[in-house]
Structure 1
Amino acid sequence: MKSVWVLRIFTISMFTHSLPAQDLTHEDDEDSLAGCRTAVNDLVFIVDGSWSVGYTDFDTAKSWLINITSSFDIGPAYTQVAVVQYSDAPRLEFPLGQHRTNQQLITALKSMKYLGGNTQTGRAIKFATENVFPTSQRTNVAKNRIAIVVTDGKSQDDVIQSAAQARDENIIMFAVGVGSEITKSELVAIANSPSTDYVLYAEDYTTIDKIKETMQQKICEESVCPTRIPVASRDEKGFELLVGMNINKKASKIPGSLATKKAYLLTSDLDVTEDTRDIFPEGLPPSYVFVATVRLKSPVTSQVIDLWRILSKRGEVQAAVTLDGTDKSVIFTATQIYADSQVVKFQDERLKVLYSEYWHQLKILVRNKNAVLFLDDVVIQTQPLEESGPIFINGKTQVAKEEKSNNSVTIEIQKLRLYCDPEQSERETACEIYSVNDPRVSTSYIFIFCNK
């Protein structure tokens, strides 16, 4: 079937996919926007200015800093940025809070002068811990304290003790290694654990911009995704919506897709609604993975339902995964930087099985430029997206509702999660689905992977 793409732009007063405001108004009438751009961060860059970097590459590093910080609102109520350049000794280029707008910060970053000298990374980390972070003017405001250490070679002093001191003081440590002269064990010693999340690499300064979006996403995850979901041998940043939405307490437990799995029965008389500020207090990250394992039964299989949605206090849909049983499609709604909403529709013959009254896993990988729909580990379709924006958090988050209505629907749910790390899309398989886990109907690769 031919792919279909739908994009609808709304103004704040003209949402067609909305609910009556009186049903959703929070006691706080003031609009509350939250997201990565509006996060409260104390962000300190510790940047290598030794002779091995050179004038040209140092200018490239400055451009990278400008590109990274452009995705955050700069100001007293949002992200504050400081920069420490280091060689033989650290030099504070500017402290936290000195620049109150994005343009002021860009001007300051462009004006930094290259130091030159040896590489005393440990000394620079200690300086930032003891002399930069403590100068924050927001001591009474909850904030994220994040340090990003950029280096192109091995330090000539000890970094282990300095980095440990920083982490002991609840400073989140990232390490960015550039070029072939870096020492991976040193970067691991600097960064938080696991190193796969907190250590980034670039081949050289000419390619460092390739990790710009990854660095922005990592900072954002620290800002908006404080919780962890135990998955296999690691904890993933994200939102366990079965717990957050109190489905595990409200709904009846039923057998799941496999004998080892449990699920929940949501009925039409069960209202699964929570305050968004309790579920997503800092908004949504720009990239994430939505995963739902569900079984749809008649009459839902021929209706249009919102499996999950975030509403503003006026009832406007800011994010949603909508299942359209009338034409067997899936619709995804998200915010947009320069408008209020964008909607993409996934329509493919293979989606018909989602409405066949059997267990299936639906997964949507959301990135800055596109959304990818998976069904039972099979890529169904990729659709373009514009950059997403913040959400209003003083509305409601709901599960299993009729589209454009507060009426609940009957549905069986085994998994409902939102992972902040887009790479989790590769690790999150549909092995809980019988047809995927059964060697008689699966490829040998998937079956072996599921049974590791």
Structure 2
Amino acid sequence: MVLFSSLYYVSCGHFCHRQRQYQYGTKSCPGCSNTKTYREVSCCDGWKGYTCDVPICDPPCNGGETCYGPDTCRCSNKTVEGLCYGYACFPPCQHGGECYGPNKCACRLGYAGDFCDVNPSDIIFVVDESGSIGNDDFRVTMEYLTNAVNRLPVRYDLLRIGLALFSDSARKSFNLDDHFTKEHITDAILNTYFGSGGTDIDGALGYTCEDMFQLTTGDRPNAQNILVLITDGRSSDANKPGLLKCNSKNVTIIGIGIGSNTDQDQLRSLVSKPEYYYDTTYDYLDTTMPKLLKTIKGKL
């Protein structure tokens, strides 16, 4: 949680390079694992962590100070006679919360999380599985999602996760109320098999907002609804009835376009705000992680 909340200060991380190779599961054998190799992980000087967003202080901070940047120590609370006063909460408690212990915040009603930065939210990842992607890049996306889940404050009463896949048509992998722990959610993601077909993005939006953001499938009336669309292509349907269904439910849409075959203007017309869309490639998909978490965090 500390790593996730450090995005409060670091907008895009300090990421240099990461490459990975996967061969994990097929439609005939979901969950079968043959290869899972990590290689060439590199952060810029002074940073560490999965997305290179955690500062390094050498020597370590002392006297109650917190590491806020490379070799930059300071108090997270006020100082008294040159020393840090009271306990340190990094980042400071949000939404009126009070720091009562090391990285421990007492939250006001309606907020939760280690730093009082979480409102109840329901998030559904909507992932392209069209034939142009292929199983290897699909596995890269699934691993990307598991890393995102591990950086989010998942809990049945705080943040719930669902997963939908789409090609010519959309299908459910799991609903918002199927899994409530990070371990169960990441296992379900990695066990999702790859399909194939065309690319009906608007149909996928309509399916998700109409059939998966439902009380009967775990959606909560007091929670914010967030849809994260990940695709490498352009929609086969120029009409937008699916988008209208999402807008009618006030669903926030975040978009990630991968590769050169995307219609960026089309995708930007789907997201809730221009800054909620970003493009990348499969080789550099990891570089969008800080942006995705920061965008989601801004909605929590």
Into which bin does the TM-score normalised by the smaller protein fall? 0.5 to 0.7
Secondary structure at 1:216's aligned position in 2?
helix
Distance, in Å, in 2 between the alignment partners of 1:172 and 1:97 is: 19
Q: After the TM superposition, which residues 108-123 of structure 1 pair with which residues of structure 2 at under 5 Å, given as runs?
A: 108-123=188-203
Distance, in Å, in 1 between the alignment partners of 2:144 and 2:121 is: 18
Q: 1:145 to 1:104 in 2, by over 3 A?
A: same
Aligned residue in 2 for 1:60:
140
Is 1:134 aligned to residue 214 of structure 2? yes
Aligned residue in 2 for 1:317:
none
Deviation at 1:43, TM superposition (A): 0.1
Structural RMSD (CA): 2.8
Deviation at 1:212, TM superposition (A): 0.6
Aligned residue in 2 for 1:199:
277
Deviation at 1:123, TM superposition (A): 0.8
Is 1:222 aligned to residue 290 of structure 2? no
Distance, in Å, in 2 between the alignment partners of 1:114 and 1:167 is: 29
Is 1:171 aligned to residue 251 of structure 2? yes
Deviation at 1:73, TM superposition (A): 2.4
Distance, in Å, in 2 between the alignment partners of 1:125 and 1:88 is: 12
Secondary structure at 1:206's aligned position in 2?
helix
Contact kept, 8 Å, 1:163 with 1:191, in 2: the verdict is no
Distance, in Å, in 2 between the alignment partners of 1:98 and 1:116 is: 25
Secondary structure at 1:190's aligned position in 2?
coil
Q: After the TM superposition, which residues 63-78 of structure 1 pair with which residues of structure 2 at under 5 Å, given as runs?
A: 63-78=143-158
Secondary structure at 1:106's aligned position in 2?
helix
Secondary structure at 2:214's aligned position in 1?
helix
Contact kept, 8 Å, 1:57 with 1:205, in 2: the verdict is yes
Is 1:18 aligned to residue 60 of structure 2? no
Q: How many matched pairs?
A: 206
Distance, in Å, in 2 between the alignment partners of 1:126 and 1:8 is: 54
Secondary structure at 2:153's aligned position in 1?
coil
Distance, in Å, in 2 between the alignment partners of 1:75 and 1:176 is: 25
Tell which structure's C-alpha radius of gyration is larger: 1
Contact kept, 8 Å, 1:45 with 1:148, in 2: the verdict is yes
Aligned residue in 1 for 2:288:
211
Aligned residue in 1 for 2:227:
147
Deviation at 1:9, TM superposition (A): 5.0
Aligned residue in 2 for 1:97:
177
Aligned residue in 1 for 2:50:
none
Distance, in Å, in 2 between the alignment partners of 1:159 and 1:71 is: 35
Identity of aligned residues (%): 20
Moved more, 110-119 or 65-74: 65-74
Deviation at 1:165, TM superposition (A): 2.7
Deviation at 1:143, TM superposition (A): 1.6
CA distances 1:308-334 after superposition (whole Å, capped 9, x unpaired): xxxxxxxxxxxxxxxxxxxxxxxxxxx
Q: 1:222 to 1:148 in 2, by over 3 A?
A: same
Distance, in Å, in 1 between the alignment partners of 2:271 and 2:150 is: 23
CA distances 1:364-421 after superposition (whole Å, capped 9, x unpaired): xxxxxxxxxxxxxxxxxxxxxxxxxxxxxxxxxxxxxxxxxxxxxxxxxxxxxxxxxx
Structure 2, unpaired ranges of 5+:
1-57, 66-82, 88-96, 99-104
As a proportion of its length, which structure holds more strand? Answer: 1
CA distances 1:3-31 after superposition (whole Å, capped 9, x unpaired): 99844459xxxx96139xxxx99xxxx94
- In the superposition, the TM-score normalised over structure 1's length comes to 0.42
Q: 1:75 to 1:172 in 2, by over 3 A?
A: same
CA distances 1:276-295 after superposition (whole Å, capped 9, x unpaired): xxxxxxxxxxxxxxxxxxxx
Contact kept, 8 Å, 1:39 with 1:72, in 2: the verdict is no
Contact kept, 8 Å, 2:128 with 2:165, in 1: the verdict is yes
Q: 1:100 to 1:161 in 2, by over 3 A?
A: same
Q: 1:125 to 1:108 in 2, by over 3 A?
A: same
Distance, in Å, in 2 between the alignment partners of 1:145 and 1:138 is: 8
Secondary structure at 2:213's aligned position in 1?
helix
Is 1:43 aligned to residue 123 of structure 2? yes
Deviation at 1:37, TM superposition (A): 7.2
Deviation at 1:39, TM superposition (A): 3.9
Distance, in Å, in 2 between the alignment partners of 1:96 and 1:210 is: 27
Kindly indicate whether structure 1 or structure 2 has the higher relative contact order, using CA contacts under 8 Å at least 6 residues apart. Answer: 1
Distance, in Å, in 1 between the alignment partners of 2:120 and 2:129 is: 28
Is 1:83 aligned to residue 163 of structure 2? yes
Contact kept, 8 Å, 2:64 with 2:84, in 1: the verdict is no
Secondary structure at 2:226's aligned position in 1?
strand
